[in-house]
Amino acid sequence: MEYRNLGASGLRVPVLSFGAGTFAGSGPLFSAWGSTDAAEARRLVDICLEAGVNLFDTADVYSAGASEEVLGEAIRGRRDAVLISTKTALPMGDGPADWGSSRSRLIKSVDAALRRLGTDYIDLLQLHAFDASTPVEETLSTLDSLVKAGKIRYIGASNFSGWELMKSLAASQKHSYVRHVAHQVYYSLAGRDYEWELMPLASDQNVGALVWSPLAWGRLTGKIRRGQPLPQTSRLHETATFGPPVDDEKLFDIVDVLDEIAGETGKSVPQIAINWLVNRPTVASVIIGARNEEQLRQNLGAVGWVLSKEQIERLDKVSELTAPYPYFPYRRQEGFARLNPPLV
């Protein structure tokens, strides 16, 4: 397994990490993802560690905290062998103090996560969303104090826009607060919006990308194809509206090329889609999920080999979208590109 520094930090993370959203699944979204119990979760953690995957990602909102609890049970007795990433800020209830990233909410949320995880520190705490109602200075000063208290070691963001992340980074620099070293983002062959604003920002500011939903919300599994009905077992029947939008015709074009490359490499469609992501600029780790051992082993097979330059170019071309303003001039006009060439 390859390891990379997470942004501007000394924390080295595997290029593949494991998402625990399938643990103890409940509710309209997470029950469709999976309902792995503690015994099954421990087996999946065993397989991950054998493969060198030691970073496990969860969140307080995943099945109302149950995902954190199951992950905590699965890693019991081997805390030093794993890295725990969790997230907070999204609503955990309907009360005024049940959401956001205010000082009181963050302190309460971190203490609750530590109890559920059965640990005394969190390796990486990420803000699950930007809280526009709380000054970034309040949020960052609180996170800074939690790092100094030893309850968390590194901080990151998730699902921030460019200006939201940059505002936070600037406040950290101005006040000498701990800074975000990671940004957990949606990025896939079927969704490349990350490349317009967030990738250049990550490159400039040295913020590592942790990629969620690398298979485009289950659409790049190889089971969804042009002219065929959605499989009865697909979780998209229940969860499609929760995830990122995807143009069906564009998706089918991408799957066609993935199929071609699968025939050339002997690798599966999802393995190729994940491998393409692992080698994109600023990506530190791609978060893979699995309902069972078979899915996990297949996803682990996405690394340890390389796509050819020509295969990467074919995937780049078929998945390319027209950039919105103000980004398209830098991709269409040489004069603009000379001043600020796109990363990809």
Over residues 208-243, the pLDDT tens digits come to 999 999 999 789 998 888 877 766 666 664 666 777
Tell me if 165 is assigned to some domain. yes
154 is a catalytic site residue: no
> For position 124, what pLDDT does the model report?
98
Confidence of residue 168 (pLDDT cuts 50, 70, 90): very high
Is residue 24 over pLDDT 60?
Answer: yes
Tell me if 303 is assigned to some domain. yes
Note whether 36 and 291 are within 8 A (CB).
Answer: yes
Is residue 32 over pLDDT 60?
Answer: no
Tell me if 219 is assigned to some domain. yes
327, two tokens: 């980004």
Tell me if 37 is assigned to some domain. yes
Tell me if 62 is assigned to some domain. yes
Which of 62, 154, 177, 186 is catalytic? The answer is 62
What pLDDT, in 10s, does the model give residues 281-313? Answer: 999 999 999 989 999 999 999 999 999 999 999
Percent pLDDT > 70 in the chain is 94
Tell me if 121 is assigned to some domain. yes
CA distance 322 to 179: 33
Our count of domains for the chain comes to 1
Q: What is the CATH number of the domain that holds 16?
A: 3.20.20.100
Inter-helix orientation angle 103-117/136-148, to 10°: 40
Reference 294, options 17, 40, 14, 63; nearest CA is 40
Tell me if 147 is assigned to some domain. yes
Host domain of residue 119: 3-310
335, two tokens: 């004069």
What pLDDT, in 10s, does the model give residues 110-153? Answer: 999 999 999 999 999 999 999 999 999 999 999 999 999 999 99
